[in-house]
Amino acid sequence: MPAHAYVPEINALLCGLFVLSAFGMVIVRQVAACLSLFIVQSALLAASAFLLGSDPFSWHLFAVGCVTVISKPILIPWVLRRLVPREVYAVREISQALDAPAALLLALGLALVGVSLGARLAHAEPLQAPQNVVVGFASLLVGALVLAVRREAVPQVLGILAMENAAFLAGIAIAPDFPLIAELAIAFDVPLLAFIVAVLTRAVYRRVGSTAVAELTMLREHTP
């Protein structure tokens, strides 16, 4: 068996683990564990980029993989760890909006919706790695669920970043020739995002005393 025969299968495996890490981010309770899962997910994204870039060889995807490795699993956690107070990471979310089994079932339902959407697209035009599109759509929806069930600031943002990962997992399959300059700019605005989020989280922590942002509900339209 030549080595490149394994590329599609291993890439599919990476995709499977990718969506599992998204599920994990829905249910793990510790903020720090959520961050670790995000790091794993970003590493899987980079690995998928390298793998798809190896056969047929593409400088472009290798560059994307390198940028991803630098910005997502390294730079973002560093920024978040450094700027957000350490107490935040020790928080266990006792009161999620949904209990874990319900959230998991909902995540599964969303993933199935994503799979059916993605599968319809993936076969619209021939692709080297259609599973990336399918998993990208499924993980995008699961990432949105993270936003909905999480109450803490950092996991909410990690949900957005997970959605971004999902979009790019689909992106490396559907747009491998996406202009590199745009790709680079996108990759480097993600650390900026982490920075802004961290600054804002710190301000919330200072002002409110916790980072349970879901409990901030002062602003609403109340009828007098």
Partner 1 sequence: MSIATALGLNLLQLAFVAGLAPLFRGIAARWRENIQFKRGPSIWQPYRDLRKFFAKEYRYAESATWVSRFAPYAVCLSPLLVTLLIPVLTDFPLFGAFAGDMLAAGFILGIGSFFLTLAAVDGGVPYGAMGASRTRMVGFLAEPVLIVILFAVSFVANSTIPYVVQQQWLSPPTHFFSPAHVLILFAFFMLIIAETGRLPVDNPSGHFELAMIDESKVLDFSGAPYALLLWGSAMKTTVLCVIFTNVLFAPWGLASTPSAGAVCAAILIVFLKIAILLALLVIVETSVSKLRLFRIAEYLGAAFVVAVTAMIAAVLAS
Partner 2 sequence: MILFAAVAAPIVAALWCALPRSERAAPYVVASALTASLGLAMWIAAQTLARGSVVAIADWVRVDAFSALILLGIATVTCSAAWYSVGYIAHLRPTPRRLRVYYANFALFVASMLAIAVCVEPGLAWIAVELTTLLSVLLVSFTDTREALEAAWKYMIITLLGATVAVLGVLVLFWAQHAAGGAPFTYAGLAHDAPHMNPTLVAAAFGLLLIGFGAKIGLFPMHTWLPDAHSQAPAPVCAMLSGVETTAVFYVLLRLLALFQAVPRLHADSWFAAFGAASLIAAALLIVQTHDLKRLFAFSTVEHMGIIALAASLGTFSGNLGVVWQILAHAITKSVCFYAAGIVTLVAGTTEFAKLRGLQQRIPLAGSVLLAASLAIAGAPPFAVFLSELAIVIAAVSAGKVWIACVVVLFVGIAFAGTIAKIGGVLFGRERSDVHANDAPPLCTAVCVAAAVPILVLGLWIPTGLGMLIARAASVMAAP
Residues in contact with partner 2 by CB under 8 A are: 117, 120-121, 124-125, 136, 140, 143-144, 147, 153, 156-157, 160, 163-164, 166-167, 170-171, 174-175, 177-179, 181-183, 185-186, 189, 192-193, 196-197, 199-200, 203-204, 207-208, 213, 216-219, 221-224
Question: Which positions ≥6 away from 184 have C-beta within 8 Å?
Answer: 63, 67
CA distance 142 to 122: 19
Phi, psi values for residue 128, rounded to 5°: -75, -40
Residue 6 binds what, of partner 1, partner 2, none (CB under 5 to 8 Å, by partner type)?
partner 1
CA distance 105 to 10: 27
Helices 59-70 and 180-208 cross at an angle (nearest 10°) of: 10
We find the least distance from the C-beta atom of residue 66 to partner 2, in angstroms, to be: 19
Question: Which positions ≥6 away from 34 have C-beta within 8 Å?
Answer: 25, 28, 154, 155, 158
Strand partners, 152: 212
Residues 123-182 within binding reach of partner 1 (CB under 8 A): 131, 134
Residue 203 binds what, of partner 1, partner 2, none (CB under 5 to 8 Å, by partner type)?
partner 2
Q: Say whether 56 sits in a helix, a strand or coil.
A: coil
By CB under 8 A, the count of residues binding partner 1 is 28
CA quadruple 140, 144, 147, 148: dihedral sign: negative
CA distance 68 to 36: 16
Residues 19-38 within binding reach of partner 1 (CB under 8 A): 19-20, 23-24, 27
Residue 177 binds what, of partner 1, partner 2, none (CB under 5 to 8 Å, by partner type)?
partner 2
Contact 149, 115 (CB under 8 A): no
Q: Which stretch binds partner 1 (CB under 8 A): 6-14, 39-47, 61-69, 203-211?
A: 6-14
Residue 95 binds what, of partner 1, partner 2, none (CB under 5 to 8 Å, by partner type)?
none
Q: Which stretch binds partner 1 (CB under 8 A): 7-15, 179-187, 193-201, 208-216?
A: 7-15
Binding site for partner 1 (CB under 8 A): 1, 5-6, 8-10, 12-13, 15-17, 19-20, 23-24, 27, 100-101, 104-105, 107-108, 111-112, 115, 119, 131, 134
